[in-house]
Structure 1
């Protein structure tokens, strides 16, 4: 099993950041790579499409509004991994009520690629996503 994570500190209170990213169907609100998200099964499954038309289906496996965190598993995706589990968290920055720290992490088993290639892929997805989040909040 391989894992990776990315972290960004943002100049916005954690509650504001969580309002933007805490909904399981909210990826299109802040992640340009995902322009479409359709919820199913009472909001526990999301069907995403990227600009190339690739479909990604994910299941919400844990949600904690008070802790500003959710975890999800990939059910279907064009990624070379299995057993994918990811968590998105919004944390306080100690001593800074006007700032937040977002951590996006995942574990997975590479399938047909090396562990390094799989880690690089998701490291890039997480880092690019958090950079897009920073830009959305700055707009």
Structure 2
């Protein structure tokens, strides 16, 4: 298994950041490369439509105050299997927070390094986008 984890500090209160990223079904509002997210009505899952037309399905596993955990059920074009991830926001003072995004997975049809690059690039693009707007 491969683990990729990114932490980034932002100069906004944790509550404000969580309002921006805490909705499991609103990934497309802050992560570049995600064109749309469609709620899967029969369970707590989302169908992610990527900008290149690829699709994948993720299921919400656990949610709490300022965090959620999810798994990827159908990876579509993403070269991983047994994917599990967590996203959280923690306060770092009155006007700052830390966002942490951790993913664990096994490569599918590629090397650990190549699969890790795909996941890392996705995390970094999302975290970078949070510094804008």
TM over 0.5: yes
Q: Distance in 2 between matches of 1:28 and 1:7?
A: 20
- Name stretches of at least 5 consecutive residues in structure 2 with no aligned partner: none
**What is the total number of aligned residue pairs between the two structures?**
132
Q: Distance in 1 between matches of 2:109 and 2:42?
A: 34
Normalised to the residue count of structure 2, the TM-score between the two structures is: 0.93
Q: Distance in 2 between matches of 1:122 and 1:39?
A: 22
Q: CA deviation at 1:32?
A: 2.6
SS of equivalent residue, structure 2 residue 37 = strand
Q: CA deviation at 1:126?
A: 0.5
Q: CA deviation at 1:124?
A: 1.2
In structure 2, the partner of 1:5 is 5
In structure 1, the partner of 2:70 is 72
- Name stretches of at least 5 consecutive residues in structure 1 with no aligned partner: none
Q: Distance in 1 between matches of 2:56 and 2:131?
A: 23
**RMSD over equivalenced CA pairs, Å:** 1.3
The 3 A distance-change label for structure 1 pair 43 and 131 is farther
Query: Structure 1 stretches (4+) deviating beyond 6 angstroms?
Result: none
Q: Which digits, 9 at most, give the CA deviation of each residue in 1:104-131, with x for residues without a partner?
A: 1100011221111111221111111100
> Which protein has the bigger helix share?
1
